[in-house]
């Protein structure tokens, strides 16, 4: 692969910032929104269903006016399609003191509890109940409080930040997640008049305010999309300039790639990745930010199968995030998994095969493996990939990849047509 690719706005920031627009007493203009990915379409459909006016000003800029939002129940059919639908709990609770959302969907990598979210809401004075798969939270008053998370959790940090933004007094979140999208959400809310300090550290202080106003705000570039193109470049021994990135957000990925013998040059808002020689083994352990991101674990594992020697990949966040390994093995990879640890015997090459995208980042790993493999691979269930990668087919093709999306009519439609 060679050439230049421009990175879209961050999915995991967009799916938190869009619900936060609920607080604005006036329109918000949000730029750099990855509008073509399905998780963003779903969260926008949820807001529209609740009564928001959503207008596309151009391909990546939205005008969202939530003044007329009146409903506080998120339809099951929409909520179950994505994990981040549960940010509507924090946002609606924060604005209306009541919210009802179904237990969320999203990628399946083991049990994904929400006890820390509920613990945080409770600390602010809310009650919660679960009925028919719907979580209901409500409060007479929301009062600032001390919230200590038992583990570092991105979702609960965001949800409690949302619920606390208009609560009376001071909320202090301890053991908060520090991911770039946490900082982005805090910056967005502050640009609307919120008073949030410390986002990006493990203590976030939120002084509740009475009113938040409309704003214009640009979402940060997607760290994981950038990392995926970095890994794909290395896998194909390419030379690619990856534009519209914040190199600081990529540091842990850059460090691992350099360890593998990949050259990464950082500029102000781009990185150049070049890979000329063989890839060398390295060990990787995923950790909360600023550690190596779990959302890059499948992609780096795919890359390590192409390296020389044995690498150990340890998953530090999720119980079951190696489901895709069987698919890589169909392409000739030699990997053994024991719980949260995978031992990758680098074979230096992969062979094309029909494979499945078992979840979003696993799908990205299949794309990387297929680009590097000898022959033509077919990846099924690409709807997972479309949840998080904007125009992946187009972006890769421009870099010289031979990739084509094929729509196979589903069997029942085909049968009816006969
Ligand atoms: N956890 C609990 N209780 C909770 C919340 C979390 O036990 O109430 C545990 C989880 O089971 C997990 C750990 O805490 O073991 C971390 O979970 P976290 O809450 O941080 O994850 P999340 O908010 O559900 C977000 C991203 C994921 C990413 C993780 C970790 C979004 C929409 N999703 O999930 O992204 O893997 O943080 O960084 O922001 C992806 O984009 O592919 C993706 C899955």
Asked if pLDDT for residue 215 goes beyond 80, the answer is: yes
CA–centroid distance, 8 to ligand 1, in Å, is 21
Quote the CA–CA distance of 5 and 270 in Å, as a whole number: 10
pLDDT digits (tens, 9 = 90+) for 384-401: 999 999 999 999 999 999
Q: Where are the alpha helices (DSSP H) in 80-178?
A: 87-96, 115-123, 154-164
Residue nearest to atom 18 of ligand 1 (CA): 153
pLDDT at 31: 98
Count other C-beta atoms under 10 Å from residue 248's C-beta: 11
pLDDT at 411: 53
The answer to whether the CB of 154 is under 6 A from ligand 1 is yes
Asked if pLDDT for residue 415 goes beyond 60, the answer is: no
Could you tell me the pLDDT band of residue 131, with boundaries at 50, 70 and 90? confident
Exposed/middle/buried for residue 105 (C-beta within 10 Å: 0-12, 13-18, 19+): middle
Asked if pLDDT for residue 252 goes beyond 60, the answer is: yes
CA–centroid distance, 219 to ligand 1, in Å, is 20
- The closest alpha carbon to 120, from 97, 91, 88, 146, belongs to 146
The answer to whether the CB of 321 is under 6 A from ligand 1 is no
pLDDT at 20: 98
pLDDT digits (tens, 9 = 90+) for 33-55: 999 999 999 999 999 999 999 99
pLDDT digits (tens, 9 = 90+) for 223-242: 999 999 999 999 999 999 99
pLDDT at 107: 60
Mean pLDDT on 90-111: 83
Residue nearest to atom 24 of ligand 1 (CA): 155
Q: CB of 279 within 8 A of CB of 262?
A: yes
CA–centroid distance, 86 to ligand 1, in Å, is 12
Asked if pLDDT for residue 276 goes beyond 60, the answer is: yes
- Catalytic pick from 28, 66, 107, 275? 107
pLDDT at 191: 98
Quote the CA–CA distance of 310 and 312 in Å, as a whole number: 7
pLDDT at 102: 87
Count other C-beta atoms under 10 Å from residue 375's C-beta: 10
Mean pLDDT on 369-377: 97
Ligand 1 atom having least distance to the Cα of 107: 44
pLDDT at 418: 47
The answer to whether the CB of 89 is under 6 A from ligand 1 is no
The answer to whether the CB of 318 is under 6 A from ligand 1 is yes
pLDDT at 413: 52
Is 275 catalytic? The answer is no
Quote the CA–CA distance of 101 and 136 in Å, as a whole number: 7
Asked if pLDDT for residue 95 goes beyond 60, the answer is: yes
Mean pLDDT on 287-300: 98
Residue 125 falls in which region: left (phi positive, over 0), alpha (psi -120 to 50) or beta: left
Residue nearest to atom 5 of ligand 1 (CA): 114
pLDDT digits (tens, 9 = 90+) for 166-197: 999 999 999 999 999 999 999 999 999 999 99
Mean pLDDT of the chain: 95
pLDDT at 130: 87
The answer to whether the CB of 133 is under 6 A from ligand 1 is no
Mean pLDDT on 95-109: 81
Quote the CA–CA distance of 110 and 359 in Å, as a whole number: 12
Quote the CA–CA distance of 358 and 128 in Å, as a whole number: 33
Could you tell me the pLDDT band of residue 417, with boundaries at 50, 70 and 90? very low
Asked if pLDDT for residue 16 goes beyond 80, the answer is: yes
Q: Where are the alpha helices (DSSP H) in 144-282?
A: 154-164, 180-191, 223-235, 251-259
Quote the CA–CA distance of 353 and 246 in Å, as a whole number: 35
Asked if pLDDT for residue 352 goes beyond 60, the answer is: yes
Asked if pLDDT for residue 338 goes beyond 80, the answer is: yes
The answer to whether the CB of 375 is under 6 A from ligand 1 is no
Mean pLDDT on 143-151: 98
Supply angle C-alpha 365, 367, 371, rounded to 5.
120
The answer to whether the CB of 107 is under 6 A from ligand 1 is yes
Residue in 175, 317, 387 to alter for ligand 1 test, most ligand atoms within 8 A of Cβ: 317
Concatenating the DSSP letter of every residue in 35-46 gives TTSHHHHHHHHH
Share of the chain above pLDDT 90, in %: 90
Residue nearest to atom 11 of ligand 1 (CA): 112
Mean pLDDT on 396-416: 80
Could you tell me the pLDDT band of residue 108, with boundaries at 50, 70 and 90? low
Residue nearest to atom 36 of ligand 1 (CA): 295
Ligand 1 atom having least distance to the Cα of 111: 11
In the block, tokens 């909520």 appear at 79
- The closest alpha carbon to 166, from 228, 124, 134, belongs to 124
């Amino acid at each position: 692969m060679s050439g230049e690719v421009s990175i879209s706005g961050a999915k995991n920031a967009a799916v938190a910032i869009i619900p936060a627009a609920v607080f604005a007493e006036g329109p918000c203009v949000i730029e750099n929104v990855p509008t073509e990915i399905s998780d963003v379409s779903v969260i926008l459909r949820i807001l529209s269903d609740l009564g928001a006016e959503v207008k596309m000003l151009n391909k990546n800029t939205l005008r969202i006016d939530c003044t007329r939002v009146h409903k506080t129940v998120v339809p099951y059919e929409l909520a179950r399609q994505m994990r981040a639908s549960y940010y509507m709990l924090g946002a609606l609770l924060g604005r209306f003191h009541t919210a009802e959302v179904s237990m969320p969907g999203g990628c399946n990598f083991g049990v994904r509890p929400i006890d820390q979210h509920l613990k945080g809401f409770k600390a602010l004075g809310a009650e919660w109940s679960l009925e028919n798969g719907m979580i209901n939270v409500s409060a007479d008053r929301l009062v600032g409080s001390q919230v200590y998370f038992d583990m570092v959790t991105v979702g609960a940090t965001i949800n409690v930040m949302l619920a606390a933004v208009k609560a009376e007094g001071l909320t202090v979140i301890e053991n908060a997640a520090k991911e770039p999208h946490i900082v982005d959400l805090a910056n967005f809310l502050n640009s609307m008049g919120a008073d949030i300090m410390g986002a990006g550290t493990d203590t976030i202080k939120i002084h509740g305010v009475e009113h938040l106003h409309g704003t214009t705000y640009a979402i940060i570039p997607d760290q994981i999309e950038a990392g995926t193109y970095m890994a794909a470049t290395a896998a194909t021994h390419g030379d690619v300039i990856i534009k519209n990135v914040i190199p600081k957000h990529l540091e842990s990925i850059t460090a691992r790639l350099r360890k593998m013998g990949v050259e990464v040059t950082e500029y102000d808002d781009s990185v150049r990745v070049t890979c000329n020689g063989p890839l060398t083994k390295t060990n990787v352990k995923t950790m909360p930010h600023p550690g190596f991101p779990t959302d890059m674990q499948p992609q780096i594992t795919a890359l390590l199968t192409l390296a020389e020697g044995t690498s150990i990949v340890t998953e530090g966040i999720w119980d079951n995030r190696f489901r895709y390994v069987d698919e890589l093995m169909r392409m000739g990879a030699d990997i053994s998994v024991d719980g949260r640890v995978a031992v990758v015997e680098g074979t230096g090459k992969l062979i094309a095969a029909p494979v499945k995208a078992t979840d979003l980042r696993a799908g990205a790993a299949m794309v990387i493996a297929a680009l590097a493999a000898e022959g033509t691979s077919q990846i099924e269930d690409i709807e997972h990939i479309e949840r998080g990668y904007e125009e992946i087919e187009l972006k890769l093709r421009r870099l010289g990849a031979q990739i084509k999306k094929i729509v196979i009519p589903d069997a029942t439609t085909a049968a009816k047509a006969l």
